Chain A
Amino acid sequence: MVSRPGGEMASRPLHFIFLCDGSGSMSIGGKIEALNAAIREAIPKMQEVAKENVHAQIWVRAIKFADRAEWHIGAPVKVEDFSWTDLTADGLTALGSALELAAEQLRVAVMPERGLPPVLVLITDGEPTDDFRKGLRRLFAEPWGKRAVRVAIAIGEEARMSVLEDFIADPEIKPLLAKNADQLHGYIRWASTVVLRAASSPPSVPRKEASAGGPATHLPIVAPVTPAAPSAADEVW
């Protein structure tokens, strides 16, 4: 029997970028180890999302920021082939540079002609030590940066939530505060699955979220599951 003609359904690329804090404070209390473990565990879930997503080809990479920002995983990797290389922590919190680095790769000249909104997931435990505003301006100056779905996860109470809110720049989406390793796992899994799914093929959403305040300009993303109350041992960072 001759197979039916044609190819697989047309889809668009979606770039997913982790922006990970690798500053010295992340080495305290096992934070960087928890971050590495959480991203590792999220990968198979991202791959499941990709399998059920016919509208997107998902590409993943990661930026580390400490004394300076650098590509931890520079060349975009198809999510099906993505694996995580552990981060180490040392130095300052050059978040502004990290945003500039991301913006550089979101330039129209660099991005594909057609795509889905990129997803930027920022994970940090502190406050920027460089010119964060400059980095943010640079990011928002890029059409793909402005249209990106941006979520942020604060590790512990030390993180400056107002900075994360400015990064997200959408009153409907709040930064998440992970107080322990379990919560960090839950939030990274949420960012890697629910947010990824929403950006690539928006899910069914409750009406009030879809149409609040006229035309929806932001992606309707169901808030993450709040992990169960932690045990005392999990509170130690």
Chain B
Amino acid sequence: MQYILTNVATVTGESSGESYRVGRLLGGGGQGEVYIASGGGQELALKWYFPESATPAQRHALEKLVELPPPSPRFLWPSELATAGGVRSFGYLMPLRPERFKSLFDLMKRRIEPTFRTLLTAGLALADSYWQLHAKGLCYCDISFGNVFFDPANGDVLICDNDNVSIDRKSDGRVPGTPRFMAPEVVLGEPPSSDSDRFSLAVLLFYMLHVHHPLEGAKEHAIHCLDMPALRKLFGEEPIFIFDPENAANRPVAGDQDNAEIYWKIYPRSLRELFTRVFTRGLRDPRDGRVRETEWRDELVRVRDGIFYCANCRGENFYQPEALASLGPHGQLCWSCGKALRLPLRLRYEDNKVSNVVMLNHDTRLFAHHLVGGRQRFDFGAPLAEVTRHPADASRWGLKNLSTVPWYFTPRESDTTVEVLPGRAASLLDGARIAFGPVVGEVRA
């Protein structure tokens, strides 16, 4: 079997001078192949370019990238260039992706079944990661299924194939992107930028949450042979959002495009509004029409905090304040079993003058971005509070203090404030207030 490095035993790290033994092939793509490489007491991934892709421009871009620190640990960033004696082309080394991270192909094919909560956590981590990349003046240029991985157990993400990262607005267009993910202006010939990254991110999030493409409706369905000119028309020349409120020409076709309709109805209106903005105005206005990463981050956290379980079937449902207002407390029906939903207790708190609501489910955990306030970084590895049952009375629920500082608990219409030391729990009583520090929450039934 012929691989590019079939007859190559070792490669040399260009800056370290370290020799790496070339191990088994991990995978291949359009630009090259990825192998395991071991040396210097560690195992790494080695991407090796096909000769056609090993251009001076690619080498130059990599030389710049290896000098930069990764925007966050979620990026499997190139650590150094690699060459091999007597072999044309070159490659680069990067950290290996642990097995627990699965591809979005697996998600789309339903080979993995994460919860809504996990998917929203992964989406939030992606938005946060690309924001950190963009904040450093870089653009990714090729956000798509193939270069994002996530842990279906907890929503941790990893971003691979960072060799296409460019200085924003100075992309040389080495790789314009992947069809279906490319922004319309890029399909039509513009170089990629952080604006087009924001379009690709929105497509990725829509795919993750709907298992369907936001522009594939009746127009796609009417095409017999989906070849390159057809792709260009659908995603470049005449893109129409399948749920465009002012243009019904491209609605999903029942029977063949059901996923989009099924999911669209489940999510809260605020999330649907963001998708509507980016796929209507954002199709034509790359600079100002697209949803910013921080907006996605805030919205995905809000939607995640709004998850509660159907008492009948345990299905995950979403808090929809507008449904509560128009239909009453039991007006919202479970998408899975159709029974009327009953809202659980909720914690309402204000941060930065924004009102937030978190559903208090049996498994709810609260984190620094909830309780410390002031735009804390999202860290789902370190909960500061969790819903718990009273050890002697299973009918009583409380919020356990997992932080290192005391809280202050005040029952409704009471002047008595009780200290809740770390390790203790405050009873979840309607109207009770808990001061977590600068953030004060109120329990609502």
Chain A residues within 8 Å of B, Cβ to Cβ = 1-10, 12, 41, 48, 51-55, 108, 113-117, 143-144, 147, 182, 185-186, 189, 193-194, 197-198, 201-207, 210-211, 215-220, 222-223, 225-228
A201 to B178, CA, bound (A): 8
Q: How far is the CB of A51 from chain B (nearest CB, A)?
A: 7
Q: Is the CB of A203 within 8 A of B227?
A: no
Q: Is the CB of A185 within 8 A of B1?
A: yes
Q: How far is the CB of A145 from chain B (nearest CB, A)?
A: 11
A85 to B390, CA, bound (A): 67
Contacts of A8 in B (CB 8 A): 108-110, 211
Measured as residues with beta carbon below 8 angstroms from the partner, the interface class of chain B is: 35 or more
Q: Is the CB of B108 within 8 A of A54?
A: yes
Q: Is the CB of A204 within 8 A of B176?
A: yes
Q: How far is the CB of B336 from chain A (nearest CB, A)?
A: 5
A207 to B103, CA, bound (A): 26
Q: Is the CB of B105 within 8 A of A54?
A: yes
Question: Top 9 closest A-B pairs, CB basis?
Answer: A203-B30, A2-B315, A186-B2, A207-B173, A6-B259, A54-B108, A9-B108, A204-B175, A8-B110
Q: Is the CB of B221 within 8 A of A1?
A: no
Q: Is the interface of A mostly helix, strand, loop or mixed?
A: loop
Contacts of A54 in B (CB 8 A): 105, 108-109, 145
A52 to B314, CA, bound (A): 32
Chain B residues within 8 Å of A, Cβ to Cβ = 1-4, 6-7, 27-31, 50-53, 103, 105, 108-110, 113-116, 119, 142, 144-146, 164, 173-180, 189, 191, 207, 211-212, 216, 221, 223-229, 231-232, 256-259, 262-263, 266, 310, 313-316, 335-336
Contacts of A185 in B (CB 8 A): 1-2
Q: Given A52-B105, A54-B145, A211-B189, are A6 and B262 also a contact pair (CB < 8 Å)?
A: yes
Q: Given A9-B259, A204-B30, A204-B142, are A143 and B176 also a contact pair (CB < 8 Å)?
A: no
Q: Chain B residue with minimal CB distance to A190?
A: B2
Q: Is the CB of B110 within 8 A of A216?
A: no
Q: How far is the CB of A218 from chain B (nearest CB, A)?
A: 7
Contacts of B103 in A (CB 8 A): 52
Contacts of B113 in A (CB 8 A): 3-4
Q: Is the CB of A227 within 8 A of B2?
A: yes
Query: B336 touches which one: A2, A198, A201, A203 (CB < 8 A)?
Result: A2
Query: A225 touches which one: B2, B29, B226 (CB < 8 A)?
Result: B2
A147 to B226, CA, bound (A): 9
Query: B263 touches which one: A6, A182, A204 (CB < 8 A)?
Result: A6
Q: How far is the CB of B56 from chain A (nearest CB, A)?
A: 13
